[in-house]
Amino acid sequence: MSVLAYCVALPGSLAQPDNVNSFEVEGLVCYYAEIPRMNANATETALRFHRVNTALFAAAAILPFQFPTTAASLEELQQKVASQAAHLRAALQRLQNSVQFELTFSVTSPASTSSQTGTEYLRQSQARERQLAEVLAQVRSSAGSYVLQWKERERGRDRRLFALVERRFQQVFSQVLQSVALPNGVECRVVGAWPATEFVDQ
C-alpha cells in the first residue's frame, strides 16, 4: 500500500471528493488516496487523478502534484508537504484567482525532401522559426490584455506558450484566441483551463 498525492489547496473552500482523503498541515490541505501499488491499472489511476483534481479545481485554486507522486506512508507525505508548505501556500495565495492555458504551435508545411542540401535545410528551419515567432507575437498582442503573465517553452519543433489568465476571464480569453487568424501552414492547439502550476517557481 502506498500513498498517491493528488494536490494541495488552501483550507476551507473545497468539498471532499468521494474516496479521497485529506490532511491539513501548515495552512494547507493535501488531498491523497491510498493505492495498492502502481500496477497495470496505472492508466485508470491516472484518469482518476485527473478527474479528482478537475473536480477540485472547478471550485477553487489547487496545485496538483506531478503524476504519479507517491509516498511509502502518510507520515512521509505529511513531512514532505510540511517542508514545502510556506512556498506552496504563497503560490496558492498568489494564484488563487488564476488559471493556465497551454497553446502549442506547430508548423504543418510539407516536410523537407531528402534530396535537399544542408544549407537548404538550415534555411527552412530558420524560416520556420521566424514564422512561429511572428505568430506567437501576434497571439500575444491579440490576447495580451487578458493575460497576467506569459511563459514560453520549446518542445521539439513546436513552441509552447503558457498564459496565466484570471479565472473570470477564461471564456473571453478562449473566444479571443479563436478569432486570431493564423497563416497557412501553422496550427495551434489550446488546452485549458488548468491549475497554474507552470507559474509556480519550483
Partner 1 sequence: MSAQPTFVAIGSKNNAELSLVEILDHILNSGIVLQGSLVISLAGVDLIYLGLSAVITSIETALAGSAKARLERGHH
The footprint of partner 1 (CB under 8 A) covers 5, 8, 38-40, 42-43, 45-47, 49-50, 53-54, 57-58, 63-72, 76-77, 80-81, 83-84, 88, 99, 102-103, 139, 167-168, 170-171, 174, 177-178, 180-182, 187-194, 197-198, 200, 202
Amino acid found at 96: Q
**Residue 167: DSSP 8-state:** G
Q: Is the Cβ of residue 47 or residue 122 nearer to partner 1 in the bound state? A: 47
Q: Is the Cβ of residue 20 or residue 180 nearer to partner 1 in the bound state? A: 180
Residues with Cβ within 8 Å of 15's Cβ and at least 6 positions away in sequence, in order, are 59
Instruction: State the nearest-atom distance from the C-beta of 13 to partner 1, in Å.
Output: 13
C-alpha cell at 179: 478569432
Maximum Cα–Cα distance for the chain, whole Å? 64
Instruction: State the nearest-atom distance from the C-beta of 126 to partner 1, in Å.
Output: 24
Q: Is the Cβ of residue 37 or residue 123 nearer to partner 1 in the bound state? A: 37
Q: Is the Cβ of residue 134 or residue 187 nearer to partner 1 in the bound state? A: 187
Residue pair 5/69 in contact (Cβ under 8 Å)? The answer is: yes
Instruction: State the nearest-atom distance from the C-beta of 103 to partner 1, in Å.
Output: 8
Q: How far apart are CA 102 and CA 164, in angstroms?
A: 9
Residues with Cβ within 8 Å of 57's Cβ and at least 6 positions away in sequence, in order, are 64, 194, 195
